[in-house]
Amino acid sequence: MPEATLVEAINLALARAMEDDPDVVVLGEDVGVNGGVFRATAGLQKRFGAERVLDTPLAELLISGLCVGMAAQGLKPVGEIQFMGFIYPCLDQLVNHASRLRNRTQGRLTCPMVLRTPHGAGIRAPEHHSESTEAMLAHIPGLRVVMPSSPERAYGLLLAAIRDPDPVVFLEPTRLYRAAKGEVEDNGEALPLDTAFVLKEGRDLTLISWGAMLKETMAATEALSAEGIAAEVIDLATLKPYDEDTVLGSVAKTGRCVIVHEAARTGGFGAEIAATIAERRLSSLLAPVTRVTGYDTVVPMARLEQYYMPSVERIKTAARTVCQFS
């Protein structure tokens, strides 16, 4: 099987979707001739034409609003927001329109769109390029929020997102765009949405994460293993709606749970998972559900960002702490 980076897998999935379905269009800033600032759309305009791979004016609200209109007409738009720090003008469109068009018209109009954006810190980018605000998107009823953590899942989940009949926000871990490499077969097969992936089985505790933080989480797991702690690792992959069954099943088995996310702690998505576990698996718990997260401060610029993001060490410490409860 050929090897691909995560961003190459995104590119493969976009090309495959456009090849399979003439209704798929790609739009965003610099996605055409330039092939995207991260090269996610490289070669697509040449292959599918400027009408289907469209360089938009520099206007994020417009990109998301265009997607809503196109989708209502039966196209399958895939919009790109260059960095997550620029997604906020789209919130009006996502909250007021994309997520509720089907519901408010009682199924008369639908909104099969995908809005892709790079997610997270760690690439020494300028200010406003390092956000991880997935929880505010996951709060919106009617949306799907998806975040892959490997090239294989990026390919399969993006295909699923494009084929899904409802709006999907697709968050791509910037830090893994080129750092993550893996075998990707361009076979057009989608992975299921709303399904978490168990990356490693273990009996002692459950580690739950998504996106780029899986890298640190897996590294911590290796080290813990050497200490005799067998962690089960879940890649949540879809945050909205998230796979409660896999999470609760794992916690019922291990009795311990550490949630790792890069986003700030307060109101982060870890809180949602912790609350669900407390509501539904309290009797299984051997230790408090613990969060290892970014801090409740503004994401710092390049010089301090490494201190902001959860480290392997912090994850290990949290895991050891919950394992000390008996």
Partner 1 sequence: MASRRVNQDLPVIARFEVRHRNYLAPDGSIQRPLPSFASDSKLLTELYRSMVLLRLFDRKAVALQRTGRLGTYAVSLGQEAVSVGIASAMRMEDVLLPSYRDNGALLWRGVKLEEILLFWGGDERGNRFSGPVHDFPFCVPVGSQAPHAAGIAYALKLRKQPRVAVCLFGDGATSKGDVYEAMNFAGVHKLPLVFVVANNQWAISVPLRQQTACETLAQKAIAAGFIGEQVDGSDVVAMRAASEEAIAAARDGHGPRFIEAVTYRLGDHTTSDDAARYRSAEEVQAHWKEEPIARLRAYLVAQKMWSKADEEQLAAECHARVEVAAERYLATVPRRPETMFDHLYADLPEAYAAQRRELAGEPDA
Task: Identify which range of 50-58, 132-140, 148-156, 263-271 contacts partner 1 by CB under 8 A.
Answer: 50-58
Which of residues 51 and 324 has its CB atom nearest to partner 1 in the complex? 51
* Triad 29, 31, 36: Cα angle to 5°: 100
96 binds partner 1 (CB under 8 A): yes
Per-residue b or e along 233-260, where b marks 16 or more CB atoms closer than 10 Å to that residue's CB: bbbbbbbbebbeebbbbbbebbbbbbbb
Which of residues 38 and 242 has its CB atom nearest to partner 1 in the complex? 242
Specify whether the CB–CB gap between 244 and 266 falls below 8 A: no
Alpha-carbon distances of 164 from 3, 215, 235, 265, rounded to whole Å = 26, 28, 20, 30
CB of 69 to partner 1, least distance (A): 2
108 binds partner 1 (CB under 8 A): yes
Among residues 13, 75, 191, 318, the one that binds partner 1 under rule CB under 8 A: 75
228 binds partner 1 (CB under 8 A): no
Q: How many residues bind partner 1 (CB under 8 A)?
A: 46
- Number of Cβ within a 10 Å radius of residue 176: 26
Phi, psi of 174 (to 5 degrees): -55, -40
Among residues 16, 52, 215, 281, the one that binds partner 1 under rule CB under 8 A: 52
CB of 92 to partner 1, least distance (A): 6
34 binds partner 1 (CB under 8 A): no
Residue 110 CB-density burial (10 A; 0-12 exposed, 13-18 middle, 19+ buried): middle
CB of 144 to partner 1, least distance (A): 8
Which of residues 108 and 303 has its CB atom nearest to partner 1 in the complex? 108
